[in-house]
């Protein structure tokens, strides 16, 4: 199949074939990162703007390096040093970037739907790097890439996502991607953060952490998103840790080949025991490596998504 | 071209490669995705028999090095597997059909990232003409006169169960 999208806005609207195409392309780009010369000329002469209206280190650096490895030029734009602070609207900022002939805008924004809005007002490829509590598509793609790489498949796997689901864009994008690829998804955490309404997406909601993780092939841990919680969702961090963290006692009871994932940043001793985060079973740093390959694939694919179909040579 | 003809052509190509490259231990065959890898493997086997030692065979995908990425759908990317250090080696690029020469140019670019070979040669099963770049093959299976809007369909037994080359008009 061929990729025909100009933007990557969410996982919800992608087909399983499109997700697999990104994963296959990312596999080839991962190999580029392992060479002595870690660079290919695929996006030579293209300009990528990292428009990060919300703080980020890992995602921004990952996109920046991905663009560099494709020989694109990168402009980093953070809200503190920009006219958005002076009252310029997002639309005007984006149209200014368009007037400078940027080819791609990678946007992170605290408002859900900001990338979709942008894709309608500018004639530039838009990549969602996280919008509010809505979606974080490249995180989900790198997570399923890592699972496929380690387990050889996605379909039929039991995946448990544990933590703050309600405020997590990572959770939403992961749920869409995993369900489309045929995994079974269980969500677990305090009932205030894991409402039953997620069952409508096709997940299992289980508030008993020991039950939720005992059969899991993958345990994906999520951080408490304090910055998005407007009121107290659980009594205390201490209580959350004793009831829901992946500690040594729980770790001993999970499947021996279960993988531990975390999108970062991790809060050691809160959602995950420090030693478990560093254990052989943790693939947290593989996720970071794979994130770079997946973002290279996404930049590569959306850049070509505007041309007419040409019969190959 | 029938299966028997293709076998004869490949056997001759192997002999030509062997004749040209006295220093057989420095030769690496690299098949250009998507039509080249199986042909490179077959040439590698034939050369191994002629020379009495194994010949490293790899693949290269040129999708990230094409010069028309702006004007087309993003190409599917297939594995690039370079079996050894290419510095000071003789690289023989192998492809099924040579047409504009743009794929060969991209392949030259691509292998550049893996080292500086002593020399690079190009072996193709079919040369159909219509070059757009100053690139010529070193070893040619068969020269076929074609019109620009015709297509050469190469089928190999590894993938489609039979060896067959035919000319189709679009």
CA quadruple B137, A37, A313, A43: dihedral sign: negative
Q: Which of A304, A306, A311 would you mutate first to test chain B, the one with the most B CBs within 10 A?
A: A304
- Quickly state the pLDDT bin for A305 (edges 50, 70, 90): low
| Cα gap A32→A43, rounded to integer Å | 14
The pLDDT tens digits for A217-276 are: 999 999 888 777 667 788 888 899 999 999 999 999 999 999 999 998 999 999 999 999
Which residue has 């984006």 as its token pair?
A: A94
Query: Number of CB pairs < 8 Å for A and B?
Result: 76
pLDDT: which is higher, A86 or A185? A185
| Cα gap A135→A171, rounded to integer Å | 8
The pLDDT tens digits for A53-107 are: 988 889 999 999 999 999 999 999 877 767 777 788 889 988 998 999 999 999 9
Helix (H, G, I), strand (E, B) or coil at A186: strand
Cross-chain Cβ contact A28/B61 below 8 Å = yes
**Does the pLDDT value for residue A309 go beyond 60?**
no
Range of the domain at B124: 3-68+77-169
Count how many domains chain B has.
1
Q: What is the CATH number of the domain that holds B26?
A: 3.40.50.2020
Per-run averaged pLDDT (10 residues), chain B, 170 residues: 93 97 94 95 96 96 87 83 94 97 95 94 97 97 94 93 90
Q: Which of B64, B102, B152 would you mutate first to test chain A, the one with the most A CBs within 10 A?
A: B64
Average pLDDT of chain A, as a whole number: 91
Which of A50, A100, A96 lies closest to A77 in space, CA to CA?
Answer: A50
Q: Is A313 on the interface with B (CB under 8 A)?
A: yes
Closest CA of chain A from B116, distance in Å: 12
Structural domains in chain A, sorted by start: 16-136+289-304 (3.40.50.1370), 137-288 (3.40.50.1370)
Q: Which of B79, B80, B100 sits opposite A313 (nearest CB)?
A: B100
Cross-chain Cβ contact A309/B73 below 8 Å = yes
Q: Two tokens at B80?
A: 């690039």
Query: Which residues, 6+ apart, have CB-to-CB distance to B112 below 8 Å?
Result: none
| Cα gap A285→B109, rounded to integer Å | 32
Cross-chain Cβ contact B65/A40 below 8 Å = yes
**CA of B34: which chain A residue's CA is closest?**
A313
Residues of A in contact with B152 (CB under 8 A): none
What is the pLDDT, as a whole number, of residue B146?
Answer: 94
What is the pLDDT, as a whole number, of residue A230?
Answer: 62
User: Residue A269, by phi and psi: left (phi above 0), alpha (psi -120 to 50) or beta?
Assistant: left
| ipTM over 0.85 threshold | no
DSSP chain B: --HHHHHHHHHHHHHHHHHH-S-GGGEEEEEETTTSHHHHHHHHHHHHHHHTS---EEEE--GGG-S-GGGSPPPP----B--S--TT-EEEEEEEEESSSHHHHHHHHHHHTT---SEEEEEEEEE----SSS---SEEEEE----TTEEEEEE-HHHHSS-EEEEEE-
């Amino acid at each position: 199949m061929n990729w025909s999208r100009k933007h990557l806005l969410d996982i919800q609207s992608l087909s399983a074939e499109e997700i697999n195409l990104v994963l296959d392309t990312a596999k080839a780009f991962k190999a580029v990162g392992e060479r002595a010369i870690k660079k290919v000329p695929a996006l030579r002469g293209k300009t990528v703007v990292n428009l990060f209206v919300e703080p980020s280190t890992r995602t921004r650096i990952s996109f920046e390096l991905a663009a560099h490895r494709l020989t694109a030029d990168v402009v980093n734009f953070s809200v503190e040093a920009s006219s958005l602070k002076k009252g310029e609207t997002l639309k005007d900022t984006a149209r200014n970037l368009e007037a400078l002939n940027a080819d791609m805008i990678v946007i992170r924004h605290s408002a859900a739907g900001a990338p979709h809005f942008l894709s309608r007002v500018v004639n530039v490829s838009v990549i969602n790097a996280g919008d509010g509590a809505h979606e974080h598509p490249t995180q989900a793609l790198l997570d399923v890439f890592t699972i496929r790489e380690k387990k050889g498949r996605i379909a039929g796997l039991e995946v448990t996502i544990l933590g703050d689901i309600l405020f997590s864009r990572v959770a939403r994008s992961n749920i869409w991607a995993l369900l489309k690829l045929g995994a079974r998804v269980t969500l677990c955490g305090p009932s205030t953060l894991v409402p039953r309404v997620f069952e409508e997406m096709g997940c299992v909601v289980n508030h008993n952490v020991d039950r939720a993780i005992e059969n899991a092939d993958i345990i994906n841990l999520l951080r408490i998103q304090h910055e998005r919680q407007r009121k107290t969702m659980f009594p205390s961090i201490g209580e959350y840790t004793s009831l829901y963290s992946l500690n040594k006692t729980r770790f001993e009871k999970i499947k021996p080949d279960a993988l531990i994932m975390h999108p970062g940043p991790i809060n050691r001793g809160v959602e995950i025991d420090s030693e478990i985060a560093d254990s052989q079973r943790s693939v947290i740093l593989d996720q970071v490596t794979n994130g770079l390959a997946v973002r290279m694939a996404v930049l590569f694919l959306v850049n070509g998504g505007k041309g007419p179909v040409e019969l190959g040579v | 071209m029938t299966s028997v003809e293709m076998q004869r052509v490949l056997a001759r190509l192997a002999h030509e490669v062997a004749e040209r490259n006295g220093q057989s231990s420095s030769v690496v065959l690299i098949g250009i995705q998507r039509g080249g890898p199986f042909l490179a493997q077959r040439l590698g086997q034939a050369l191994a028999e002629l020379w009495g030692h194994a010949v490293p065979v790899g693949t290269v995908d040129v999708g990230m090095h094409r010069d028309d990425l702006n004007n087309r759908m993003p190409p599917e990317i297939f594995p690039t597997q370079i079996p050894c250090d290419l510095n000071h080696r003789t690289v023989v690029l192998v492809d099924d059909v040579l047409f504009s020469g743009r794929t060969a140019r991209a392949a030259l670019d691509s292998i550049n990232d893996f080292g500086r070979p002593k020399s690079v040669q190009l072996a193709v099963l079919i040369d159909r003409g219509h070059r757009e770049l100053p690139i010529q093959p070193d070893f040619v299976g068969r020269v076929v006169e074609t019109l620009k809007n015709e297509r050469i369909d190469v089928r190999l037994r590894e993938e489609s169960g039979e060896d067959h080359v035919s000319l189709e008009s679009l």
